[in-house]
């Protein structure tokens, strides 16, 4: 079953979620190296383990713990931004769509339900 993050990305497709739920050490190492290079930060293999945005933890990828989109949605009591009345005008989520446009169709689909 697919888990959609507050932002609209599919947690269940994220390497941190996959590695965390399967215990795939090779995927953790590969993803840590790729994300370290791509984002100019140090990501350790043991950091690449997540239970998904909708979980309360204990394992969340480090970015997810400081994600403005997740903090806002969950702070308002929403699972995703699709539930928010400010969705269309929100600078936070619309700014995120500029970075990850693939997230918008998922949230739009949830809004239509």
* pTM as predicted: 0.84
Please give the structure tokens belonging to residue 34: 């790729």
**Domain containing residue 76:** 11-112
Q: What is the pLDDT of residues 34-68, one digit of tens each?
A: 999 988 889 999 989 999 988 877 888 888 888 99
- The answer to whether residue 5 sits within a structural domain is no
Domain count along the chain: 1
Q: How many Cα neighbours within 13 Å face the side chain of 20?
A: 20
Q: Please name the residues in contact with 50: beta carbons below 8 A apart, sequence gap of 6 or more.
A: 11, 14, 16, 17, 20, 59, 60, 61, 64
* Inside any domain, residue 69: yes
The band of 90, judged by pLDDT with boundaries at 50, 70 and 90, is very high
């Amino acid at each position: 079953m697919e888990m959609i993050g507050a932002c609209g990305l599919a947690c269940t497709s994220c390497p941190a979620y996959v590695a965390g739920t399967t215990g795939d050490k090779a995927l953790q190492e590969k993803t840590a190296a790729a994300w370290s290079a791509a984002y100019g930060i140090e990501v350790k293999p043991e950091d690449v383990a997540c239970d998904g945005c909708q979980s309360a933890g204990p394992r969340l990828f480090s970015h997810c713990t400081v994600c403005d989109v997740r903090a806002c949605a969950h702070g308002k009591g929403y699972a995703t931004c699709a539930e928010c009345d400010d969705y269309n005008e929100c600078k936070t989520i619309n700014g995120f769509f500029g970075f990850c446009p693939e997230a918008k169709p998922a949230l739009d689909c949830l809004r239509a339900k």
